[in-house]
Amino acid sequence: MRPILSLCKNHALLLGLIAAIAASSTAFAQAAQPEASLTPSASPSATPIVFAEQTLADLKQLQQAALTSDYAFKQVAHLANNVGPRLTGSAQAAKAVEYVAGEMKAVGCDVQLEKVMVPHWVRGIETAELTQFPGQAAGTTQKIVLCALGGSVPTPAEGINVDTVCVRDFEELKSLPREKVNGKIVLFNHSFDKHMAAQGHGGDAYGQAVAYRSDGPVAAAKLGAVACLIRSVGGADYRIPHTGQTNYEEGIPKIPAAAVTAEDADLIAYLAAQGETRMHLVLTPQTLPDVESANVIADIKGSEHPEQIVIVSGHLDSWDLATGAIDDGAGVAVAMETAHLVRQLHLKPKRTVRVIAWINEENGSRGSTQYEKDHASEFANHFAVNETDGGAGHPTGLNLKTNPEVKKILEPVAKILQEIGAGTLNLSEHIGADIEPMEKAGVPAFSPMQDSRFYFNYHHTPADTLDKIVPRELQENAAVVAVAAYAFANAEQSLPR
Ligand SMILES: [Zn+2]
């Protein structure tokens, strides 16, 4: 599997990397540099003009308009509350595709639905209780709160009732003889580092823990385990489970997989350390045939270079436990707002501004894969690409995966963004799961650099709901994405790759 993936899926070191670099960056100093790049100069060695005065004026106007618009919030509110959970294959996911396409048409975009075949996994019954444990009062059980991991196979309908073995990490599991694991339920009790998240490195904390969700079931099955549990990958202490996709491997038995809450992981670990702890586990998810769905592609044609494309995007699908407000209705809404503002202000981008609402980021990346299949030959003309997929927390700047020279070129843009506290320019290893094929092809990539302290409290839980979005912060994210996108769309020259 790939080493660095999205925040929603697997090894997302991203937010943490970003925060770590940002903490030591000198953004304010950059923003205070003289405006040499803005002013025509006779000197042949001077930095060429990248942003015309008119473009810079337009960027300021876009920023102000984003900060007073309620369009983005209305979009995420509709997706979360009117449409609801949007796991691929669901009626809600289909409705969301139709909704975004309609809204983008209403704004005046040229809209295409590009077909994607998506997985259709459906959650079933998910219950567990400890049926035997040290010190047990006769005739009692203890309830365990959990949720199936995406893609999990089911247990038999009546469930399994077997001993549990609790380990902290892969190394501890590997140190056990096969007979200690064979026929049992393995629990990976690997903690999410809440202190790290509290310091703004939520992505790092997530990246450290999520490997168990992705790869735990395969590791456990290799030693003969009959089911795999993981400690939920997230930061809150409200006995709430976090779902997310898990992976199986060809040739290794597929075993049922679920995430228990942090509190229940502690309980099981405490009891299992004292003696035999048996669990009755019932999981009845189903994998149904693939379903036809689509990426929504909405263009505002460029006036000078229509073939050159600047993408703003988020993923439209969400997990099924909640309404997908922060993951990633917010990202879709911010992308939609960019198109809305460009049209509302009657701006004429030189290059095509393309909104993409991706499908199936959470459990397969089929939308991203299909776009690459259909458009890879055009990537040389994809001028810049954004995906916003880290919630809607206050942005402090822009993450960039670009030639370092692009960071310098963007300094006049950062100066404008600094007016809302978002002027940091940060070179990053990775921007977004859906845009990864374009990142790899060298297309300059960007996203708002967001406050990640609270995101993983709600990520992939039943609590990813609209109330978690602060309208002002969503507006700030829309401002950052719209300003950056329009700057790329109207740059006077091509960017170094
Ligand atoms: Zn996401």
Centroid of ligand 1 to alpha carbon of 124 (angstroms): 23
pLDDT digits (tens, 9 = 90+) for 110-157: 999 999 999 999 999 999 999 999 999 999 999 999 999 999 999 999
pLDDT for the residue 206: 94
pLDDT for the residue 430: 93
DSSP 334-366: HHHHHHHHHHHTT---SEEEEEEEES-TTTT-H
Which residues are annotated as catalytic? Answer: 361
- Reply yes or no on whether the pLDDT at 455 is more than 60: yes
- Reply yes or no on whether the pLDDT at 464 is more than 70: yes
Q: Of all helices (H) and strands (E), which one includes residue 118?
A: strand 110-122
Paired sense of beta strands 382-386 and 286-300, if any: unpaired
Torsion of CA 18, 24, 27, 32, to 10 degrees: 180
Q: The tokens 């994405």 sit on which residue? A: 481
| Prior bond of 317 cis (ω within 30°) | no
Over range 208-231, report the average pLDDT: 98
Centroid of ligand 1 to alpha carbon of 492 (angstroms): 33
Centroid of ligand 1 to alpha carbon of 439 (angstroms): 17
Centroid of ligand 1 to alpha carbon of 315 (angstroms): 6
Centroid of ligand 1 to alpha carbon of 93 (angstroms): 14
Band of pLDDT at residue 238, cut at 50, 70 and 90:
very high
Both tokens assigned to 84: 């609801």
Over range 23-34, report the average pLDDT: 38
- Reply yes or no on whether the pLDDT at 414 is more than 80: yes
Torsion of CA 213, 215, 216, 217, to 10 degrees: 110
Helix (H, G, I), strand (E, B) or coil at 402: coil
Q: For residue 197, how far is the Cα from the chain centroid?
A: 16
Lowest average pLDDT, out of 13-17, 373-377, 432-436, goes to: 13-17
- Reply yes or no on whether the pLDDT at 18 is more than 60: no
Query: Residue 296: beta bridge partners?
Result: 113, 357
> What's the first-to-final CA gap in the chain, in angstroms?
26
Band of pLDDT at residue 43, cut at 50, 70 and 90:
very low
Residues 6 or more apart whose CB falls under 8 angstroms from that of 264 comprise: 144, 145, 146, 239
Query: Residue 400: beta bridge partners?
Result: 427, 446
Percent of the chain with pLDDT over 70: 90
Centroid of ligand 1 to alpha carbon of 180 (angstroms): 37
Both tokens assigned to 364: 């397969």
pLDDT for the residue 46: 52
Q: For residue 106, how far is the Cα from the chain centroid?
A: 27
Over range 264-280, report the average pLDDT: 98
Centroid of ligand 1 to alpha carbon of 241 (angstroms): 17
